[in-house]
Structure 1
C-alpha cells in the first residue's frame, strides 16, 4: 500500500459522487440482512417472544422512523460529516458532542469485532460442512480483516461497488425464499398469529426489540458519507428514510415468513436447536423450501453478507475518526487524505490495527466466537446505539427551540416527532438493559460491566471535551 497522504485542511475534504442508491447500499450492507436473519432471528425467537418476534422489528422500525424525522429535519443545518457527533455538538455543545463521539466509536467498534467473530465461525463451519479442515476461527477472521484493510484503504466508490453486488444478491435470495414460503406455507398455513397481542406479549418482548434494534446499527451513517455524496442536501435525507423503511420492512416480513414456514408452535424449538449448535434455522429452512442448491447459495451469500457488513463498518469508523481528527479531538494524522485514492487512508490503517488487536486478545483468551464475541459485542453496540439516538433526538429538540427561524412552522418534524422518539428510545433502552444478562449469557456482574461501557465512554468523552478548547 502506498502511504501518500495529505493533511485535511479547511479545503481538503473527502470527495465522491455517491447518490442515494449508493449510500443506501453502504448503510443497508452494514445492516447485513442475511447476517441478521441467520444470527438475530434465532435469538429473537428462542430467547424472546417466540412467534411474536416480528413485532419486535415493527416496534424498532417505528421508533427509528420517528428518530429519522428529526434527524433529517436538522440535516441541512449540519454542514459537515460526523453524524451523531456533528448533530449533538450543534444542538448541545462541543463537550457533550465529544462524549457522543466516544460512544459512537465504541458502538461501531464493538459490532465490527462481533462480526469478525461471527464470520470466523461461519467460514470455519462452512469449510467443515463441506469436508475441509477444522481450523480455529481467528485464522478466518484475520484473513477477512486483511481483505477489508485493502478495500477500506482505497476510494469509497470501490467499496460501494463491492457492497452493492453483495447486497443485491443476498436481498434477492431472501426475497425468493420469502415468496416460496408464502406460496407454499408450513403446517399452520399463512398464519397471522405473530400479530395477535396474546402472542407477541408473551415471553421476553425486550429481547426481540433488542435484536431488532441491533439489526439497524449503522443506518444513521448516511450522514457520515456527506462529503462523498453527490448532492448532500437531497441524498442524505432520501437515503436515511429509504434505509429505515427497507431494513425494517425486509426484516419484519422475513421474520414473519419464517414463522409461516416453521409454524408458530415449533419456531421456538427450532430456534433453540440453532442456539444449542444442533441446527441452523436459516440454512435448514432454506433447504426445506429451496432445496440443497438454495441452501448452498444462501450459505455462500451469508459469508458475503458478513463480509459486506464488516467492510461497511470499517468505512464508517474510519470516517468517524477522520471527522474527529479534523476537529482536533483525535491526532491530526488521522485527518489525512490519500493523494491518489482520496480516502481517509491513515485512519483506515489505524482502524485495521485496532480491530486486529481486539480480535487477537479475544482469540488468545479463547472466547467463543458466537455467544462470547458476537452476542456480547452486539449487546454493547445496541446499548451504545440507543444512547446515541436518544442524545441526538434531544439535540434536535434543543436546536430548533433555540433557532425558531429554522423550524419554518414544521411542528411535527422539529418538535413532536423528536419528542415521541425520545420516549420510544427511553423505552427501548429500558428493554435492552433489563434483558441484558440474557443477551450476554454471562453473570450479572459481567453483563453490568459490558452494558456500562457505552455510558462510561459518554462520561469520559464529555470530560475530555470540557478540557479542549
Structure 2
C-alpha cells in the first residue's frame, strides 16, 4: 500500500517536535526585526518608558486568548489554522471567509517585510562596501532562496530558523545584560512597570504597537498535521511561544528605558527611531555590535518571511483540500512531504507583488513596508478576535468541555480586547501609514473584499473537518483531515 504523504492527502506527520514548532513561531514573530523596527515607535508614539508595562498587559490578553485556543485545539488538527476554528464555531461560510482573509493578510504581511529586507541590505552594503543595488534585486534573491527552502521538508526550515532565532535573541539579550551590569544611564528602577509611566503618554497606541509585535505566534495551529502528538504539542507550543516572546520584549523594553533614562527614552526614540537600538548597543556593548546587529537583523527578516511563507503555503494547501481553492495546490511532494506546488505559487505571488511596487517607484520602507504591515496586522487581529468568538460558540453548541473559565470567560475577555484592538488600529490608520494619501486610506477595504470572496465561493460538499460529529458529550477526539474525496 502506498503510504506516501501524497497518497494520504495530508502533510507529513511527526515531522516537528515541540522545540521545532516554538522556533518556527518565534522566528515568524521576529524578535530582532520587532526590536529594531517597531519597538522605537511603541516608545516614541505610545507608552514611552511604560512600554514594558504595555507588553505585560498584552501578555495577559494573549494568555486569555490561548486558554480557549488550547481547549479547542484538543478537538481538531488541521493545517488550516484559524479558519478551521472559525468554521467549526461560526459555520462553513464564516470559515471560508476567514480562510481567504488569512491568506490575504499573511501575503500582505510577508511582502511588507521584504521591503525592510531590501532597504537594510543596501544600508549594510553602502556602509561596509561602498555600493548599493536596486532594493528589488536583494528582495528577489531572498524570495528565490525562500522558495527553495519552502519546497523542501519543513524540518529543514525549522533547523535554519532555529539557528536564526538563537543568534538574534542572543545579541539582544547580550545588550540588555550589558545595560543592566553598567547600571543604565542613571541607575536601575522598576518605573517602566508602574501605572504612572504606562498612563503618562498614549497607552492605547502603545498597546497597539505591542500587540503588533506578537503577530506570527497565532500560526501555531498551521503546523498541527506535522506535529508530534498534536493534541499536546500545539497547545504547549502556543503557551510557550507567548511566554518567551512576552518575557523577551518586557526585558528588552525595560533595559532600553534604563539605557536612555526613564525621562528621555520617548524623546530619543521619536527623534531617531533608526538609531534607537543601535545607539544603545554602541554605547553599552561597543561599536562591533552595531554591524553584528545589522547582519542578524537581515537574517531575522529573512527568517520571518520564511516562517510566513510556510504558513501561507499551508493555508493554500488546506483551502485546496477543502475544495475552496484550485486542487493543484494540495499536491504534496512524495519525498519531502511539503506542499510544494502551493509553495511555488506563493513564491511567484510574492515576486510579482514586489516587482509591481518596484516598477511603481515605491519606497521599500516608507511605503511598501509601512502601508502593508498595517494592513496585514488589522486582518490578523480580526482573525484572532473571530477565533475567540468561535471558541465560545463551539463549546456552547457541543458541550465538549464545560469549564466556564475555559469556554466562556477567558475567550470572551480575549474577544473584547482583540476586537477593541482592531477598532483602535483602524481609527489610527493615518498614524500607522504616516498620513499617506491617495488610495492608502481605503486599503482596509481589501480585507473585506478578501473575506467576501471566501463567503461567496461556490459551495460544495463541506470539508471533512466540518462533517465531524460534534454532538454534545462526545469524547474529545482529534479531527484528522484525510483529504480523500468522498
What residue in structure 1 maps to residue 284 of structure 2? 289
What residue in structure 2 maps to residue 107 of structure 1? 105
Calculate the aligned-residue CA RMSD, in Å. 1.9
Q: d(CA) in 2 for partners of 1:149 and 1:54? A: 37
Secondary structure of residue in 1 paired with 2:272: helix
Tell me if the contact between 2:5 and 2:12 (Cα under 8 Å) persists in the aligned partners.
no
What residue in structure 2 maps to residue 372 of structure 1? 367
- State the Cα deviation string for residues 423-447 of structure 1 (Å, max 9, x = none): 1112222222221210101347645
Q: d(CA) in 1 for partners of 2:5 and 2:12? A: 11
Q: d(CA) in 2 for partners of 1:111 and 1:12? A: 26
How far apart are 1:208 and its partner, in Å?
A: 1.9
Secondary structure of residue in 2 paired with 1:297: helix
Q: d(CA) in 2 for partners of 1:363 and 1:204? A: 35
Q: TM-score, normalised by structure 2?
A: 0.90
What residue in structure 2 maps to residue 233 of structure 1? 231
What residue in structure 1 maps to residue 332 of structure 2? 337
Secondary structure of residue in 1 paired with 2:78: coil
Equivalence map 1:69-84=2 (5 Å): 69-84=67-82
What residue in structure 2 maps to residue 213 of structure 1? 211
Unaligned runs of 5+ in 1: 1-5
- Give the alignment partner of residue 189 of structure 2, picking from 174, 188, 191: 191
Residues 1:267 and 2:265 are matched in the alignment: yes
Q: d(CA) in 1 for partners of 2:325 and 2:406? A: 33
Residues 1:142 and 2:140 are matched in the alignment: yes
- Give the alignment partner of residue 322 of structure 1, picking from 311, 317, 322: 317
What residue in structure 1 maps to residue 42 of structure 2? 44
Q: TM-score, normalised by structure 1?
A: 0.93
How far apart are 1:310 and its partner, in Å?
A: 0.7
Equivalence map 1:359-438=2 (5 Å): 359-404=354-399, 406-407=400-401, 409-438=402-431
What residue in structure 1 maps to residue 479 of structure 2? none
Q: 1:209 to 1:446 in 2, by over 3 A?
A: farther
Secondary structure of residue in 1 paired with 2:452: helix
What residue in structure 1 maps to residue 84 of structure 2? 86
Q: d(CA) in 2 for partners of 1:205 and 1:382? A: 19
Secondary structure of residue in 2 paired with 1:338: coil
Residues 1:355 and 2:355 are matched in the alignment: no
What residue in structure 2 maps to residue 120 of structure 1? 118
Residues 1:64 and 2:59 are matched in the alignment: no
How far apart are 1:202 and its partner, in Å?
A: 3.3
Q: d(CA) in 1 for partners of 2:72 and 2:384? A: 14
Q: d(CA) in 2 for partners of 1:164 and 1:273? A: 34
How far apart are 1:174 and its partner, in Å?
A: 1.3
- State the Cα deviation string for residues 200-233 of structure 1 (Å, max 9, x = none): 2233323322222221112121111111111111
Q: d(CA) in 2 for partners of 1:360 and 1:425? A: 34
Give the number of equivalent residue pairs.
459
- Bigger mean CA deviation after superposition, 168-177 or 389-398: 168-177
Tell me if the contact between 2:9 and 2:332 (Cα under 8 Å) persists in the aligned partners.
no
What residue in structure 1 maps to residue 467 of structure 2? none
Q: d(CA) in 2 for partners of 1:411 and 1:124? A: 53
